[in-house]
Structure 1
Amino acid sequence: MTAADTRVQLVRDATFARLDTDGGITGTRGTTPDGLFLRDARHLSRWQLTVDGTSPVALVPATAQTDHTATGVLTPKGTRDNPPAYTVFRQQTVSAGALTEHLRLVSNRPDPLTARVALTVDADFADLFELRVDDRHYPKPGARHATQLTDDGLLFDYRRADWHTRTTLTYRPAPDAVTTAQDTPQSTARTLTWHLELDGHGEAELHLTVRAQPQGLPTDIPAVPHRRRAPATAPDDLTRTCERGLADVDLLTIPVTGVDGEEVYVPAAGIPWFLTLFGRDSLLTSYFLLPYRPETAAATLSALAATQGQRYDAFSGEQPGRIVHETRHGELAHFRQVPYGRYYGAVDATPLFLVLLHAHYETTGDRSPAVRLEQHARQAVDWMLTDGGLEKHGYLVYTPDPGGLVNQNWKDSAGAICFTDGTQAQGPIAVSEAQGYAYDALVRTADLADDVWQDEPYAHRLREAAARLRSRFVTDFWMPGADFPALALDGDGRRVDALASDAGHLLWSGILDAEHAHRVGRRLLEPDFFSGWAIRTLAAGQKPYHPLSYHRGSAWPHDNAVIALGLARYGFAVEVNTVTEGLIAAATRHAYRLPEVIAGYARSATAGPVPYPHACSPQAWAAATPLALHTALQQV
């Protein structure tokens, strides 16, 4: 969450809730929607408490005590001469598919009294894509909402054709009355009212449990296994940031199906919008974690092999051998009103899959994933050579998808791949960093072919393709005037000449020779690129630069982590330390949690890093960034 966002966020077991400062939910949309969320849907859209007919006063606003539990202290309105008759101690906890609430009412008076407590509840079952403020509207023909009393609570039911999802509410004790919410008489909202008797200085309790029952999951949703981490001894700021990062990766871990039908646990991308499997994000997160948690890489590889493209589908971008960009489980994806059920609009996930497959073998010596996924790897190589564009265009390319993503590299916002005048490049577009990934993927897969698959002719073919790619890359991408690589080549072969951080990824992949790599490494630490906190996505001073943009001047921790690993590869010890110090200093201002992205303002301009207003937090590759920085420091 951003500095301006006062909502409380709780997350556990692939479930998250966002609550107002009094612990309530009002059904907001936009940048920070509130509610209880599971599998791309909001299962609780209203949760509003009143005491004695009015909204309570938050003496202690709802505050997260752990990542999944919040507490607060509320009272009815009172005055100095007539203080509140009782106090409400509120505790809310998120677990697998559930929100539980414990209300403890404590009388402040010596005589008996009756507390009137009411709770208005609703579930709108909105798809996450509906909650974004992007002027898109999705028809839902035949959709039916219903609310009914059950023996022990309420059932909120939603049906549309073959789509069926529910939310249940149970309570103890039972309310004295359940009525249709007076402010929305045509809705499914219900108001539950209790009249609780309190003895003098006595207590009463309410226990409530909300359970989401989305389509495709069992009624009892299993918990995600959680790791135990030994506390660090005499931790420094980097160690603390690593510990927070590992804890956040645990929070973002979700169960998915692996290539042989087994259940595996992988890092989802981030909250609130991306608590699902993402090809690029999950791959880079797993790569950053590889020296510390190699089993995460094995799980991610299995999950992505299970969703690898098998056919041609223009709507979703699926092509044989292509690695998926993201998966979705919501209503709109189910009815193909959005292309993201399994969306393949990424040019880089496929080579990164191959990079991680070899890196796992290289790090662990374990041959089994490489053996098990040999055919998947070969299909990924085939995609790079054919539909990916290496044979036809000489480079991996993508064509902007007007129904999905305009840009299909990690800088996937509209306008991110731009010339120095700010004009968006037109496709087919060959972004620079994807060529580095392709080169590295070919070299690494050749090593697997030699060492594991015992296929020397295939290895030779891949090494030749990698050598040709490396040879032509500098010729086509290097800009002599700027003495720096172009961000991309557009569909006409023109160099997209904005100076961008993507060049640092070329160091990580090894596609540049030492001379050109050292020019890039030094240039990225100049003040127009390096803010003092981190390397900006776009160097300041250019026309399209904007420090509060998503990809045109902000700074991303994971981007810097890739660059730091690249700097370490070419021996830039001072530069690795500089980048690490800036990012860890930023993390200390965020309780040791690195956000997805920070604004591009210079460190000298403010006391702390300026938050990017729409950043996901926690976010997986940002969480894994300190582990990558730790690795880079060990390599120089």
Structure 2
Amino acid sequence: MTGHTLVRGTTFLITGPAADVAAGTEGFYVDDTRHLSRWELSTDASLRVLTEEHDRQSASVILTPATPRNEDPAYSVFRDHTLGTGTLVEDIRVRSHLVVPGEVTVSFRFAADFADQFELRGTREYERPGEYSASTGANGEVLLAYERADYRKWTVVRASSPAVCADDRISWTLTLPPHGETSLRVEVVAGEGDRVPDPGARPAVFADVVREAQADSQEFLATAGVTEIAWPELRTAVAAGLADLADLRVPAPGRPDLRVPGAGVPWFLTLFGRDSLITSLSTLAYRPELAAATLRALAAVQGTTVAPDRVEEPGKIVHEVRRGELSRFGQTPYGRYYGTVDATPLFLVLLGRHRRVAGDGVAIELEDAARAAVGWMFRHGGLDEHGYLVYRTDGPGLVHQCWKDSARSICFADGELAEGPIAVCEAQGYAYEALLSTAEIAREVWQDAPFADRLFTRAAQLRADFADDFWLPGEDFVALALDGRRRRVDALASNAGHVLWSGILPTGLAHQVGHRLCAPEFFSGWGVRTLAAGQAPYHPVSYHNGSVWPHDTAIAVAGLARAGLTAEATRIAEGLLAAATHQPGNRLPEVMTGYARGETPHPVPYPHSASPQAWAAAAPLLIATALGSG
């Protein structure tokens, strides 16, 4: 028994097996803030879990008093809970197993620390000088609140029947008929600002919240075309991924009419430039409306000025947008943070690919945003000054501004860390496709032939330069990056799969790279390792230096297919789909360890993997598209 994770937009709940919130990072979260740090059910006897089960909308647990072997428990407790937007609803039923009437006291102990996610996920302590308060109402209701200047978060706990309330608990004494049961309902509502729910408002009906969540997901899934996929394992994985993506849609900042892929639970449930874009690219053939929403949402927060404290520049696409306390007061740079080198070209890649699927509408609507993004690539991104897209490694926030953004991820084969400004290989591939697709839009949609010609010419030059500057002739592979001294960063890394996906390499070189990606040092049997085994920095339990990421593997599959290496692409896809069959509900995690398939009977989980996670959920959809639905 491992506990539950339920997700509904920017609301999620993480509990232990008994459905309690009691330890570590468990909690009830909304918009980057933990609104319950404690939520524990108790009765007048110690309880044990008999069984627990959950789906994506709700969870159920059955408990009984922990009696000795020779003593039968007097009653059972049935806990059912589900999430609405900003709401947790829990139904409790206590069923007697006795032939005489009885009584039992049921209590919830609770607390809200209103912690920011950045405080919980790291080792650093942050000063949070706000004030906490708790108050009880006359209608079985408790209000927990936190205020710091004009920042206010609150949590309301309220019951469907009269209860005894205190600042940290709510309890009932229930009368149990012989072999009968008594039920009650509790609702937790989270919010911000001054608009607290009216005292005594009727708690949400559990069944209604479940139906609303299920109806929303079913509408998203209804026309996805999953049944047309012939390959059974792929069809199952695609269905599981789509179900996760239905729950991971979050409102766009400033555009509540748009729902975009949030990156993942627990730490990334918000708009992320790179993650939302790659997820939208991966799902384009099945859910093109995600791409349209992502493009509009990112255009709405596109950079407009030079702001070094958040790495913002005109035309640049945002990396992430946060709403927590630490971001609000500038204690982290992530409130609206632009530290990404690849989101801007990926924005243009998605715009071009979406146009081919859904027509010219969004390309016409976002012309100004697209032109600004191109301008950023030339002026601030580095194409004019360095010939490539580059990022510095000494700014605020992240050291590395590519998808492998951990501090030691961009390194040489001997383990030496690369220093900036750095040009990572996959960003050049994205830039190449971005220039080509925007040129096509400029010529055919915007009717701007001179601009189109300029972009076509620059794309051709980038392709030629890339083959010269990034090729490692002794390895038949591409360099991971060029460092600040234009040295080839010679670690053999899975980023090369992204290079194949972009089409920047000539066919002969692409085939050499593709064959190498399929070799045992890269292909673990479950997926493509982020760093090939046998190199000094390789580590199978490293976040980016030897692990297997499903989205990264799916991009390699798409790259191999684009290069014409269909058999190789299929073999790697088979490995990833086999890994999916070992996961609960066929849900691919964010990342797995890099141990070889022959070493272990199942893929070994990475200890800090996010799940559910958007681009992992989208990985089977990208494979289905790349391989023609198998």
Q: Distance in 1 between matches of 2:231 and 2:546?
A: 33
Q: Secondary structure at the match of 2:83?
A: strand
Q: Within 5 Å, which residues of 2 pair with 1:143-222?
A: 143-152=130-139, 153-175=141-163, 177-179=164-166, 190-215=168-193
Deviation at residue 515 of structure 1 after TM alignment: 1.1
Q: Tell me which amino acid in the other structure corresponds to 2:42.
A: T
Q: Tell me which amino acid in the other structure corresponds to 2:241.
A: G
Q: Secondary structure at the match of 2:263?
A: coil
Deviation at residue 235 of structure 1 after TM alignment: 7.0
Matched residue, 1:86? 75
Q: Distance in 2 between matches of 1:526 and 1:235?
A: 25
Matched residue, 2:252? 256
Deviation at residue 441 of structure 1 after TM alignment: 0.5
Q: Distance in 2 between matches of 1:232 and 1:359?
A: 24
Deviation at residue 322 of structure 1 after TM alignment: 0.2
Q: Distance in 2 between matches of 1:349 and 1:372?
A: 19
Q: Distance in 2 between matches of 1:635 and 1:575?
A: 16
Q: Are the equivalent residues in 1 in contact too, given 2:217–2:243 (CA < 8 A)?
A: no
User: Which of 283, 287, 299 is the equivalent residue of 1:305?
Assistant: 299
Q: Within 5 Å, which residues of 2 pair with 1:21-60?
A: 21-26=17-22, 28-29=23-24, 33-52=25-44, 54-60=45-51
Q: Secondary structure at the match of 1:237?
A: helix
Deviation at residue 55 of structure 1 after TM alignment: 3.3
Given the alignment of the two structures, is residue 437 of structure 1 paired with residue 430 of structure 2, yes or no?
yes
Q: Are the equivalent residues in 2 in contact too, given 1:39–1:214 (CA < 8 A)?
A: no
Relative to the length of structure 2, the TM-score reads 0.94
Q: Are the equivalent residues in 1 in contact too, given 2:75–2:94 (CA < 8 A)?
A: yes
User: Which of 247, 262, 271 is the equivalent residue of 2:243?
Assistant: 247
Deviation at residue 192 of structure 1 after TM alignment: 2.4
Deviation at residue 12 of structure 1 after TM alignment: 1.9
Q: Distance in 2 between matches of 1:110 and 1:499?
A: 71
Matched residue, 1:603? 597
Q: Distance in 2 between matches of 1:635 and 1:63?
A: 32
Alignment deviations for residues 589-611 of structure 1 (CA, whole Å, 9 cap, x no partner): 11321111111111111111111
User: Which of 221, 225, 232 is the equivalent residue of 2:227?
Assistant: 232
Matched residue, 2:84? 95
Q: Are the equivalent residues in 1 in contact too, given 2:253–2:321 (CA < 8 A)?
A: no
Q: Tell me which amino acid in the other structure corresponds to 1:149.
A: T
Q: Provide closer, same or farther for how the CA distance between residues 239 and 166 of structure 1 changes in structure 2, counting only shifts above 3 A.
A: same
**Range that drifts further, 410-419 or 73-82:** 73-82
Deviation at residue 218 of structure 1 after TM alignment: 8.9
Matched residue, 2:357? 363
User: Which of 98, 105, 109 is the equivalent residue of 1:109?
Assistant: 98
Deviation at residue 7 of structure 1 after TM alignment: 2.3
Q: Within 5 Å, which residues of 2 pair with 1:502-517?
A: 502-517=495-510
Matched residue, 1:137? 125
Q: Distance in 2 between matches of 1:55 and 1:419?
A: 56
Q: Distance in 2 between matches of 1:584 and 1:626?
A: 8
Deviation at residue 80 of structure 1 after TM alignment: 3.5
Given the alignment of the two structures, is residue 20 of structure 1 paired with residue 10 of structure 2, yes or no?
no
Q: Provide closer, same or farther for how the CA distance between residues 216 and 288 of structure 1 changes in structure 2, counting only shifts above 3 A.
A: farther
Q: Secondary structure at the match of 1:244?
A: helix
Q: Distance in 2 between matches of 1:10 and 1:580?
A: 28
Matched residue, 1:187? none
Q: Which runs of 5+ in 2 are unaligned?
A: 199-203
Q: Distance in 2 between matches of 1:467 and 1:155?
A: 62
Q: Distance in 1 between matches of 2:237 and 2:196?
A: 36
Q: Secondary structure at the match of 2:304?
A: coil
Alignment deviations for residues 366-410 of structure 1 (CA, whole Å, 9 cap, x no partner): 111111111100100110001101110111000114531111000
Q: Distance in 1 between matches of 2:286 and 2:231?
A: 17
Q: Distance in 2 between matches of 1:227 and 1:467?
A: 45
Q: Distance in 2 between matches of 1:42 and 1:609?
A: 31
Q: Distance in 2 between matches of 1:512 and 1:205?
A: 65
Deviation at residue 237 of structure 1 after TM alignment: 1.1
Alignment RMSD: 1.9
Q: Tell me which amino acid in the other structure corresponds to 1:407.
A: H
**Range that drifts further, 113-122 or 484-493:** 113-122
Q: Distance in 1 between matches of 2:123 and 2:68?
A: 45
Q: Which runs of 5+ in 1 are unaligned?
A: 181-189
Relative to the length of structure 1, the TM-score reads 0.93
Q: Within 5 Å, which residues of 2 pair with 1:254-403?
A: 254-257=250-253, 263-364=257-358, 366-401=359-394, 403=396
Q: Tell me which amino acid in the other structure corresponds to 1:536.
A: R
Q: Secondary structure at the match of 1:407?
A: coil
Q: Secondary structure at the match of 1:604?
A: coil
Q: Distance in 1 between matches of 2:594 and 2:196?
A: 45
* Count of residues in correspondence between the two structures: 610
